[in-house]
Structure 1
Amino acid sequence: MQYKLILAVLVTGFLAACSSTSVYQPAEKRGAYGYTETQLGADRYRVTFTGNSVTDKETVNDYAMLRAAELTLQNGYEWFQMVNRDTESKSRSSTNISGMYDYGGGTAVYQRCGLVSCNTYVTQVPSRIDGGVATTTTRTSYQSSLEVKMGKGQMPESAEAYNAQELASTLRRWMNNAK
C-alpha cells in the first residue's frame, strides 16, 4: 500500500513540473525551452526565447526582451533598439478516445525506415467503438525572436529603443512578483 502512495506523489510531482511555465534560463539547445542568442555583427544580436505550451505569448515576449537587455549590459552597451521582431506560435492537437473497443476489426501493417534499415510493425485496429467519447486537446507554444542593435550614449528617439538597465530592472521586478 505504501508503494502506491509513493507512486502517487511521484506522478503528481511529475505532472506539476510538466504543467509549469517555462523557466527563464538558457536553452539546452536551439529550439528547446529558454533563450538563445546569435551575434549578427559587432553591435547586433538575434535573441530568441522559446516557451512551452503553458507559457503565454506575453511572457515569452517579455523573456526575450529581458534577455536582450541583459545581453546589452553584458556587452558594455547602455541601450538597444529593436530592428526586427517576430513571434511564432505552434499548435499541436491530440485526440483521446475513451470507451469500449472491439479489436476484431483486423490488423494494420506499417514500416518505419531509417538510413540503414526498416522495421515493420503490426497492430490491431478496432472495428467499432461502443459508447466512446473523443476528447481533443490543442496546445499552443510561442517563440519570440528579436533582432537588436546596441548602443551607448544618446538613445534614439524611437518607440523601439529601450534603456537596457531600466528595462531589465522592470522585467525582473515583474518576474519576482509573478512567482
Structure 2
Amino acid sequence: MRIKMIFVALIAVALAACSSSTTYQPAEKRGAYGYTETKLGKNRYRVTFTGNTITDKETVNDYALLRAAELTMQEGYDWFQLVNRDSESKSRSTSSFSGVHEVGGGSSVYQRCGLMSCDTYVVDHPSRLSGGVSSTSTRTSYQSSLEIKMGNDPMPDTAEAYNAQELAATLRRWMGNRQK
C-alpha cells in the first residue's frame, strides 16, 4: 500500500511539473528552459531565456530583460543598451482520438510524459477506423535572445537603453504581483 501511495505522489509531482510555467532560473544547458548568457566582448553579452509551452511570450521577454539587468549590475555597470533583439517561437501539434472503434486493425496513440514535456507516438495497424472523434492541439514555446552593451553613466538617451537597477526592481515587483 505504501509503495502505491509513493507512486501516486510521484505521478502527481510529474503532472504538476508539466503544467507549470518556466521559473526564472539558470538553464541546465544551452537550449534548456531558463536563462543563459554568453560573453561577446568586454562589455557585451548575449542573454537568452527559453520558456516551456505554459510560459507566455511576454513573460519570456521580461525574464530575458531581467537577466540582462541583473548581469549588468553583476558586471559593475549601471545601464545596458539593446544592440539586437530576437524572439523565436516553436509550435508542436498533437493529435488525439476518442471513441474510435477498430475494424480489423487501426491506429494506436501512445503518449510518453517526462517532467518537462510529453511526446506522442502513433502506430498504424493495417485496417481502418470506424466512428470516433479526432482532435489536434498545438502548443507553442517561446525564446527571447538579447544582445546587450553595458556601460556606466551617462546613459545614452535612447529608448533601447535601460537603467539596470530600476528595470530589475520594476520587473521583480511585477513578477511578485503576478504570482499572487
* Short-chain TM bin: 0.7 to 0.9
**What RMSD in Å do the two structures reach over aligned CA positions?**
2.2
1:175 and 1:141 mapped to 2: Cα distance? Answer: 19
1:17, CA displacement in angstroms? 1.6
Question: Where does residue 25 of structure 2 map in the other structure?
Answer: 25
Is 1:156 aligned with 2:159? no
Question: Where does residue 174 of structure 2 map in the other structure?
Answer: 174
Task: Give secondary structure in 2 for the equivalent of 1:76.
Answer: coil
Aligned-pair identity (%)? 69
Q: Which amino acid aligns with 2:64?
A: A
TM-score, with length taken from structure 1: 0.83
Moved over 4 A (4+): 1-9
Question: Where does residue 39 of structure 1 map in the other structure?
Answer: 39
Where does the alignment leave 5 or more consecutive residues of structure 2 unmatched? 108-122
2:144 and 2:95 mapped to 1: Cα distance? Answer: 28
> Alpha-carbon deviations, 1:138-170, whole Å to 9, x = none?
000000000000000100000000000000111
> Alpha-carbon deviations, 1:75-106, whole Å to 9, x = none?
00000000000111000001011233437359
2:85 and 2:137 mapped to 1: Cα distance? Answer: 29
Question: Where does residue 115 of structure 1 map in the other structure?
Answer: none
How many correspondences in the alignment?
A: 164
**Is this contact kept in 2: 1:36–1:47, CA < 8 A?**
yes
Question: Per the alignment, do residues 130 and 5 of structure 1 end up closer, same or farther by CA in structure 2, a change over 3 Å counting?
Answer: farther
Task: Give secondary structure in 1 for the equivalent of 2:174.
Answer: helix
Q: Which amino acid aligns with 1:91?
A: S
> Alpha-carbon deviations, 1:25-73, whole Å to 9, x = none?
0001111000000111100000000000000000000000000000000
Question: Where does residue 119 of structure 1 map in the other structure?
Answer: none
Q: Which has the larger radius of gyration?
A: 1
Q: Which amino acid aligns with 1:148?
A: I
2:167 and 2:17 mapped to 1: Cα distance? Answer: 29
Q: Any residues of structure 2 matched to 1:75-86 within 5 Å, and which?
A: 75-86=75-86
Question: Where does residue 91 of structure 1 map in the other structure?
Answer: 91
